[in-house]
Each structure stands twice: as structure tokens, then as C-alpha cells.
């Protein structure tokens, strides 16, 4: 019977590898086509690998808690010739070792072919704090050493260079690494590493933030009257979607000397997850009214909390909304994702005096700070201010959302 390989699939855009979490079936079990058979974890979510066809699981060569790249062979399924041909899987399967020990021996044998591709960790070595200015010139020797440890130029910000012009020498680098080894070290999670890498790439751009206070009394009054009840972040997301539908240019991305305009208003919302942040995306957020989005929004938040977001619910958004007010913060300067130009932030609401013209006196009102962080290459303070003002207007007219 043909031995059909179980391959690590492409689980999402920019995802190159995944870690084996659990086996949902055992060798000898009969499985159907597209049945979930292996649970894996990427730096974004926990997902499942499915069976390529109907048959009997003959073996798994993948091991728990190890990472494998896209396309790696994780195991085999014995299928009939007809079943394999029906799914276009009748090509000869790659030769696999008889057992784990033989596989390891084959890999170590000089000149032996490799059955399983080894995955180098995304980041090896030490997480480095940021304290100093860092280096402007890196020698080839230092670059090679950094590559060996999986470090980036930004990680040198914690080193005071002793070379000419403050340059970090290889001796400075080795001394710093040796000093870090004397401290308590913990392994950064895959999500923490992914967030760090995204923020490092985001910070290569000139970013700026504008902000203004907004009164939310109308928003909270509206929320009391409707069912299901939208969260404040969903109000902000819908207001931003409408504002960008009116003029999407502020959400464009600068690539070379061209502005790439968005083809749809897909907006993400930042969700705190264990040791990181996930950003589920609501597609075409300008085309559905607020109350029609509540169920979808709540489901995406729940899936993000479980780290089980489907691939089509992440990536590809043009802006993000973050409700940092849930942490009691009144002001913050969030950083847009590398592929985005904008991030809208909503602070905690507090009672503040508001002048009432009709009453001729100050009256208490719920006030929160609204911030917009943006790529300064794409838009300036004036354009950012106009967009933020429009969002604030819409938040004070929740019936329009």
C-alpha cells in the first residue's frame, strides 16, 4: 500500500514553522481525509494539521515540543492505491527511517541524506535590554557573531562601545554577553519573540502620535439601550472604519515612491494574550453596522484568548484599534504593526467637568483620551488630526455607527 507523507502545511502568511503540541490520533488508527490528526503551535495561534487522505496512520516521526518547517514530513499514512490516486498523492513517498534512533544515526552519518530538516530557533542566545545608544557600524566579525546568537542590531543598544566614535567592538560584545550570563535568564516564548520582532521592524519608520479628549456619555448611554452590547473598542473600530471609508488615503502604505491604497477596510483589534498580543481582524468593517458586528467581534476575542484564531482572521489589516483604557491607562503611544500605517488608541474614561452652554455651568461628563499613532512618512499632523477628529465626532454620535 502506498505510504502517503503527512506534511507540515503553510498555516498562515509569514509562518515558516510550527511546534508539535499533541498527537490527536495514534499509529494504527484509521483516519478520514481532512481529519485533525496533529495539534501544532505557531507564534500566532494553536492550529491543527489534517490528514491528506483516508487511510491508517502507520507512524509519526515528528516529536512533541519540537519545531518543524513548512513542508517537513511529520509521519505516514497507509492508503489504498485508489485513495492515493484520487487525492493526487500517488507519487513515491520520501524514505523514512525505521525508528527514532535510526533516524538520528542517519542524520549524524557523514554524507547521509537528511530525512527531517532541522529548524534553527527563530531567536537564540540572550534577550538584551535597551539602555544606551547602540552601534552605527558593525564589523563583519561582529555581524557573524550576532548571527550565530540570533541577535539583531537593536540588541546592541544595551552596550556602551569603546571603539572609535562609540563603535561596539567584538570585545565589548563578548564582555556584555558574559556579564548577562551571570544574571537570571528565562526563555522568551515564541509569541514574545514574534511581538519583539514586529515592534523592531515597526520602529524602523518615523512614528508620531496625536491625541485629543473625547466625551463618551452618548456612547455609554447608547450601550445601555442596545442588545447585544458592543464593547468600547468595537465602537472605536466601527468609527475608524467609517472615517477611513470616507477617505482611505491615511491608511495607505509608502513603498518606494508609491502610496499603496487599501483595497478594503479591514481593521484589527489588539487582544492581550499570554506573554504577547494577538490582533484578530474584522474584514470590511465599514460595510456592517455596529450591532451586526458584535457577535463576530466577541467570537474573535474568545478565539484570540484561546490562541485559536483561524488563518483568515489574522493579517492583512490596514489599521488596529487598541483599548489601553482596560488597564486603567489614560494616555499611551501605541506602535502600528509593520504592515500598517495607523493604530487608534482609547484611554480609560474618567469624570471631568464639561461646560454646558445651555445651563451656563460646568457639568460632570465622561472623558477619555483618543490617540492616533501613524507613519509620519505617509501623513502629517494635519491629516492625522482631521482623521482623529472625525473618529471622535462619530463616537459622540453612536446612532450613526
What is the pLDDT at residue 201?
A: 86
Q: Please state which CATH number belongs to domain 204-400.
A: 3.30.559.10
- Judge whether residue 137 has pLDDT over 80: no
Return phi, psi of residue 180, to 5°.
-65, -30
Higher pLDDT, 191 or 350: 350
Which range has the worst mean pLDDT, 105-119, 288-302, 380-394? Answer: 105-119
Return phi, psi of residue 281, to 5°.
-120, 135
Count CB-CB contacts under 10 A for residue 216: 24
Strand 271-273 relative to strand 207-215, pairing: unpaired
* Banded pLDDT at 229 (limits 50, 70, 90): very high
Distance of alpha carbon 171 from alpha carbon 157, whole angstroms:
15
**Closest alpha carbon to 97 in 81, 87, 108:** 108
Q: Do 3-108 and 204-400 share a fold? A: no
What is the pLDDT at residue 87?
A: 60
User: Domain extents for the chain?
Assistant: 3-108, 124-187, 204-400
Which range has the worst mean pLDDT, 119-128, 136-145, 176-185, 192-201? Answer: 119-128
Distance of alpha carbon 319 from alpha carbon 339, whole angstroms:
9
Which whole-number Å values give the CA distances from 260 to 255, 257, 335, in the listed order? Answer: 7, 10, 20
What is the pLDDT at residue 182?
A: 83
* Banded pLDDT at 157 (limits 50, 70, 90): confident
What is the pLDDT at residue 88?
A: 63
DSSP notation for 226-262: SSSPPPHHHHHHHHHHHHHHH--GGG-EEETTEEE--
- Judge whether residue 231 has pLDDT over 90: yes
Q: pLDDT > 90: what percent of the chain?
A: 49
What average pLDDT does the structure give for the chain?
A: 83
Q: Please state which CATH number belongs to domain 3-108.
A: 2.40.50.100
- Judge whether residue 192 has pLDDT over 60: yes
* Banded pLDDT at 226 (limits 50, 70, 90): very high
DSSP letter at 205 equals S
What is the pLDDT at residue 90?
A: 55
* Banded pLDDT at 122 (limits 50, 70, 90): very low
pLDDT digit string, tens, across residues 331-364:
999 999 988 999 999 999 999 999 888 888 999 9
Q: What is the mean pLDDT of residues 108-124?
A: 42
Task: Please give the sequence-ordered ranges of beta strands (E in DSSP) within 286-360, or none if there are none.
Answer: 319-322, 342-346, 350-356
* Banded pLDDT at 271 (limits 50, 70, 90): very high
Q: What is the mean pLDDT of residues 273-293?
A: 91
- Judge whether residue 175 has pLDDT over 50: yes
What is the pLDDT at residue 156?
A: 78
pLDDT digit string, tens, across residues 69-78:
888 899 999 9
What is the pLDDT at residue 10?
A: 80
* Banded pLDDT at 124 (limits 50, 70, 90): very low
What is the pLDDT at residue 136?
A: 52
Q: pLDDT > 70: what percent of the chain?
A: 85
Amino acid at each position: 500500500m502506498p505510504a502517503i507523507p503527512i506534511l507540515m502545511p503553510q498555516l498562515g502568511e509569514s509562518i515558516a514553522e510550527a511546534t508539535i503540541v499533541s498527537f490527536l490520533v495514534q499509529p494504527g488508527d484509521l483516519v478520514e481525509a481532512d481529519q485533525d490528526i496533529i495539534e501544532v503551535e505557531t507564534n500566532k495561534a494553536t492550529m491543527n494539521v489534517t490528514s491528506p487522505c483516508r487511510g491508517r496512520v502507520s507512524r509519526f516521526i515528528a516529536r512533541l515540543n519540537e519545531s518543524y518547517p513548512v513542508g517537513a514530513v511529520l509521519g505516514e499514512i497507509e492508503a489504498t492505491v485508489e485513495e492515493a490516486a484520487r487525492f493526487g498523492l500517488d507519487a513515491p513517498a520520501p524514505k523514512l527511517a525505521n525508528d527514532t534512533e535510526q533516524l538520528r544515526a542517519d542524520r549524524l552519518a557523514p554524507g547521509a541524506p537528511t530525512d527531517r530538516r532541522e529548524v534553527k530557533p527563530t531567536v537564540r542566545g540572550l534577550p538584551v535590554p535597551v539602555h544606551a545608544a547602540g552601534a552605527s557600524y558593525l564589523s563583519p566579525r561582529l555581524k557573524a557573531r550576532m548571527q550565530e546568537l540570533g541577535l539583531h542590531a537593536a540588541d546592541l543598544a544595551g552596550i556602551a562601545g569603546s571603539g572609535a566614535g562609540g563603535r561596539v567592538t567584538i570585545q565589548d560584545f563578548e564582555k556584555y554577553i558574559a556579564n548577562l550570563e551571570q544574571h537570571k535568564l528565562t526563555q522568551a516564548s515564541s509569541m514574545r519573540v514574534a511581538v519583539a520582532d514586529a515592534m523592531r521592524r515597526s520602529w524602523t519608520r518615523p512614528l508620531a502620535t496625536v491625541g485629543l479628549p473625547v466625551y463618551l456619555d452618548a456612547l455609554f448611554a447608547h450601550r445601555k439601550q442596545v442588545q447585544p452590547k458592543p464593547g468600547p473598542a468595537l465602537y472605536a473600530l466601527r468609527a475608524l472604519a467609517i472615517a477611513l471609508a470616507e477617505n482611505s488615503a491615511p491608511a495607505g502604505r509608502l513603498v518606494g515612491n508609491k502610496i499603496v491604497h487599501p483595497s478594503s477596510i479591514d481593521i484589527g483589534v489588539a487582544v492581550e494574550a499570554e506573554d504577547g498580543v494577538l490582533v484578530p481582524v474584522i474584514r470590511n468593517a465599514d460595510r456592517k453596522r455596529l450591532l451586526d458586528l458584535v457577535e463576530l467581534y466577541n467570537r474573535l476575542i474568545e478565539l484570540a484568548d484561546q490562541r485559536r484564531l483561524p488563518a483568515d482572521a489574522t493579517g492583512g489589516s490596514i489599521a488596529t484599534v487598541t483599548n489601553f483604557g482596560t488597564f486603567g491607562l489614560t494616555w499611551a503611544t501605541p506602535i502600528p504593526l509593520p504592515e500598517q500605517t495607523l493604530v487608534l488608541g482609547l484611554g480609560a474614561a474618567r469624570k471631568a467637568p464639561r461646560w454646558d452652554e445651555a445651563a451656563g455651568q460646568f457639568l460632570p461628563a465622561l472623558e477619555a483620551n483618543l490617540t492616533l499613532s501613524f507613519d509620519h512618512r505617509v501623513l502629517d499632523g494635519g491629516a492625522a488630526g482631521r482623521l482623529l477628529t472625525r473618529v471622535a465626532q462619530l463616537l459622540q454620535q453612536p446612532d450613526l455607527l
